[in-house]
Amino acid sequence: MGNSALKAHLETAQKTGVFQLTGKGLTEFPEDLQKLTSNLRTIDLSNNKIELLPPLIGKFSFLKSLVLNNNKLTALPEELCKLKKLETLHLNGNHLRQLPASFGQLSALKTLSLSGNQLRTVPTQLCGLRHLDVVDLSKNQIQNVPDTVGELQAIELNLNQNQISQISVQISHCPRLKVLRLEENCLELSMLPQSILSDSQISLLAVEGNLFEIKKLRELEGYDKYMERFTATKKKFA
């Protein structure tokens, strides 16, 4: 892509606060963007070949949305965690194995998508994020859900298409969790904490494609209580 094309994109971004450059084969984050650190509210660089997010990302102090789906990122810089206004972070289809240690400082974050990466566990840093609504960790390599999950503030947690065979009973203590997606994992029915049914806020539990028949779920103690929540929620949205 020529300099003149990039220049035109930068001029537009200066006016609109949105910089979008997708599917252009970019191998690195455009350094010229740092001229717009105080203008930009949205950056979308999806479907490129970016391997590294430079430390200068931390300078975009007004950024609300960062979208880098389908790139080649293997790690994220700690500087990313300085973005105190960031509400939406989409990093689907990269090669991320973990999140920066200070990820919990992204205090405004509401939506986090990390589908199709190489995470092996539910990152504990997520538990510090008080405004988190939706977390998508589908299509990773997660094998178990640890005790720390009980502090997660999310309303929806998507763990579809992982390798989960164990879930901490603490998941039923998540204060706001309404939707839990666990489709296509490696769960035996005995490994599904019954408290999810009998004693949680969860009103939509999706568990198709595990190592048990769905009808067996209906025989568990607490299923009636779960169905009450499920039906009440359905009525509310009908």
Where residue 156 sits, what CATH number does that domain have?
A: 3.80.10.10
Give a yes or no: residue 103 inside a domain.
no
123 and 225 in a single domain? The answer is yes
Q: Is residue 203 part of a domain?
A: yes
- Domain span at residue 135 reads 119-237
Q: Which amino acid is at 134?
A: V
Residues pairing with 88 in the sheet: 65, 111
Put simply, whether the predicted model's pTM sits higher than 0.85 gets the answer yes
Neighbours of 3 (CB within 10 A): 8
| Cα atoms in the 13 Å half-sphere on the side-chain side of 99 | 20
Say which residue the tokens 């105080």 belong to. 38
**What pLDDT is stored for residue 238 in this prediction?**
67
The whole-angstrom separation of Cα 171 and Cα 35 is 44
**Residues 127 and 84 occupy one common structural domain:** no
Residue 100 lies in a domain: no
CA–CA separation, 5 and 222 (whole Å): 60
**Does any domain span residue 188?**
yes
Residues 177, 233: Cα–Cα separation, whole Å: 13
pLDDT of residue 235: 82
The domain boundary, picked from 114, 147, 167, lies at 114
Same domain, 127 and 202: yes
pLDDT at 181: 98
Among 83, 114, 145, the domain-final residue is: 114
> 200 and 179 in contact (C-beta within 8 Å)?
no
Is 101 part of any domain?
no
Q: Which amino acid is at 123?
A: P
In the chain, the number of structural domains is 2
Choosing from 114, 144, 168, the residue where a domain stops is 114
List Cα–Cα distances, 193 to 67, 143, 167, 198, 199, in angstroms: 35, 16, 7, 9, 10
Answer yes or no: do 31 and 127 share one domain: no
Is the distance from CB of 197 to CB of 182 less than 8 angstroms? no
Residue 17: burial class (beta carbons within 10 Å; 0-12, 13-18, 19+): middle
- The pLDDT profile of the chain, 238 residues, written as one tens digit per residue, is 567 778 888 999 999 999 999 999 999 999 999 999 999 999 999 999 999 999 999 999 999 999 999 999 999 999 999 999 999 999 999 999 999 999 999 999 999 999 999 999 999 999 989 999 999 999 999 999 999 999 999 999 999 999 999 999 999 999 999 999 999 999 999 999 999 999 999 999 999 999 999 999 999 999 999 999 999 988 877 6
